[in-house]
Amino acid sequence: MPSRATPDPYTSPETFAQRARRARDRAGLTRPVAGGLVGRSAEWVKGIENGTIGMPRLPMLIRLATVYECDIADLIGDDRIAAATYTKAAHADLPAIKRALTTYWLTPTDREPEPAAVLAARVRQAWKLWHGKGDHRSRIAALLPDLLADAQHSVRALDGADRRHALVAQAQAYHLAQLFLSFQPAPDLVMLTGDRSMAAAQDADSPRAIAGAAWYMNHVYRDANEAAEARVELAEQAAALLRQDDEEGLARWGLLQLAVALSFAKVGREGQAWRYWDRAADAARRLGPTYAHPWLVFGQGIVEAYALTMHNDLMQPGKALEVASALDLDRVPSATRRSFHLVETARAHGMQDEGVAAVALLQKAHKESPETVRYNMHTRMVLPELAKTGPRMVRADAHALAQELGVAV
């Protein structure tokens, strides 16, 4: 009787193993990096991909889909299930922001355009609300529709230098919209706002505005797992346009070095990541210990805090916690950023199975900036597991926080 060949999990289009391998390849992640991001070993990822480990349960499927930036359907072959259904919560004001971004004023109006200086002042105020304590997304959502509409009108109606200044303000308004849309189930709108902000910055012919747009586009590319080379090229081209002989130019140059460092860390290229981080740290040092950009928040505090994220992405939780232990978050003048870095510290503890510390830090991050935690993908993924299988002494706390965030347990 002829022997039957063992099915090859990499060539069969019907196997979970084959889909998992393709999803990881598309994400550009190595097995050690992918395993670390979902709290497993490289050998576990290998077992998933060669079929010796079967399809995991839903919570792990959600983690894999999130890390690979794909839908669960891409992994299990069922297009009725999408990862966003489980991991991304829609803000109540998302429809209003979407309408604001897709409304076009095509007919002439007798209304006077907003002067560029007034528009810029409104944008500065919106940034203060974004970085302040409390529900930052809800606060700027109340301002964004009118701000976007007025910026659009001013850019169309003004001429010369006034129009260029209005374009710079418009680019920043799109940055705020992009930040609101981050971690929302609207990836097309995130890309739209990133592209529009870059177009406005280029139309303004402002190297500084282009640098700011490149920083935020780098986030878009990184979250979408675009090739590191594309992200690096954008940041380096924008950095080359800048002068470093004043605070504003040096801060934005340093910020773009940090963008490259984060991009390389995301794909596990440690040497290059820390080389660019050193450049960012040197720029921050030259700006002085008390300097922090008013809305980009670049300074020594933020560079040091992002070292924590880089160690996490490089699967070095022990080193991440060493950074965290020395980190002074009072040097980060943004509640949203402080909350984010507390979540990152919780992520490092979680990678070391230290659930008590992880839950305590998530609670602290929630107190600092509730909507940062509510819409953070890591938080929404790990809380259900901590509530069910974490240390007994914190299960109730994890369950309560999950309920507060609207995460199913």
Instruction: Work out the average pLDDT over 107-122.
Output: 89
Considering the entire predicted model, what is its pTM?
A: 0.83
- Report the pLDDT value the prediction gives residue 87, as an integer from 0 to 100: 58
pLDDT tens for each residue of 288-345: 999 999 999 999 999 999 999 999 988 899 999 999 999 999 999 999 999 999 999 9
- φ/ψ region of 134 (left if φ > 0, alpha if ψ in -120 to 50, else beta) reads left
Q: Which residues of 259-281 are buried (b: 16+ CB within 10 A; e: fewer)?
A: bbbbbbbbbbbeebbbebbebbb
pLDDT tens for each residue of 249-272: 999 999 999 999 999 998 889 999
Instruction: Work out the average pLDDT over 273-298.
Output: 97
- Report the pLDDT value the prediction gives residue 12, as an integer from 0 to 100: 44
Instruction: Work out the average pLDDT over 201-207.
Output: 98
pLDDT tens for each residue of 174-194: 999 999 998 888 888 999 999
- Report the pLDDT value the prediction gives residue 78, as an integer from 0 to 100: 60
- Report the pLDDT value the prediction gives residue 275, as an integer from 0 to 100: 98
Q: Cα(218)–Cα(383) distance, rounded to whole angstroms?
A: 28
Q: How many CB atoms lie within 10 A of CB 50?
A: 13
Instruction: Work out the average pLDDT over 203-213.
Output: 97
Q: Is the pLDDT of residue 376 over 60?
A: yes
Q: Is the pLDDT of residue 227 over 70?
A: no
- Report the pLDDT value the prediction gives residue 59, as an integer from 0 to 100: 66
- Report the pLDDT value the prediction gives residue 47, as an integer from 0 to 100: 86
Contacts of 191 (CB under 8 A, 6+ apart): 220, 224
Identify the CA nearest to 266 among candidates 38, 29, 71. Answer: 29
Q: Which of 216-225, 265-274, 365-374 has the highest mean pLDDT?
A: 365-374
- Report the pLDDT value the prediction gives residue 27, as an integer from 0 to 100: 87
pLDDT tens for each residue of 131-159: 999 999 999 999 999 999 999 999 999 99
Q: Cα(302)–Cα(292) distance, rounded to whole angstroms?
A: 8
Average pLDDT of the chain, as a whole number: 89
Q: Is the pLDDT of residue 2 over 60?
A: no
- Report the pLDDT value the prediction gives residue 256, as an integer from 0 to 100: 98
